[in-house]
Amino acid sequence: MSGAVLDASVFVAAISPREIHHVAARDLYNSYAADRAFLVPSLFRVEVLAALSRRGEPDELLDNVDILVSGPRFHSIPIDASLIERSAQVARAGRLRAYDAVYVALALNVDAAFLTLDSDVRSKVAEVFPSLSFVAPAQ
């Protein structure tokens, strides 16, 4: 499957100028987004809208984001029993939070790169899953 798994936190930071990592997230998102699709777990839409809503973003932005993440650029992958099982293995092996484990497990399951700004996740995962490739901001 082509595409890369997009961490929800990258997307939220990329579209929300109030986020501390806005510029890095926007640059990372835009550098990859040219003509490729993003793979996301089915909870991505809820995670993104909840994060933006908690930050007090206006309804117009929430509506636009909802349309965008429901569109063809974002391929939503169901969180089924197989992904849950792999996520549990990833969480244990990598000592990750649940959401991070789901995103990493999805990338591993579909053999896709993972776009994230989280250096802690990258370092923990690289130790136990060295085959996973990351798309990270330019240094």
CA-angle at 115, arms to 29 and 5, nearest 5°: 105
Q: Is 102 part of any domain? A: yes
Give the domain CATH number at 45: 3.40.50.1010
Q: Does some domain include residue 137?
A: no
Domain containing 104 equals: 4-131
Q: Is residue 56 part of a domain?
A: yes
User: Can you tell me the mean pLDDT for 53-74?
Assistant: 94
Q: How far apart are CA 61 and CA 111, in angstroms?
A: 32
User: What domain count does the chain have?
Assistant: 1
| Position 138 in a domain | no
The better pLDDT of the pair 36, 139 is held by: 36
> Given this model, what pLDDT does residue 2 score?
63
Token duo for residue 6: 């997009």
Q: Is residue 38 part of a domain?
A: yes
Between 20 and 104, residue with greater pLDDT: 104
State residue 138's pLDDT score: 59
> For residues 55 and 2, which has the higher predicted lDDT (pLDDT)?
55
The predicted pLDDT at position 88 comes to: 98
Percentage of residues of the chain with pLDDT beyond 90? 76
54 lies in a domain? Answer: yes
Give the pLDDT of residue 19. Answer: 87
98: in domain: yes
Tell me if 105 is assigned to some domain.
Answer: yes
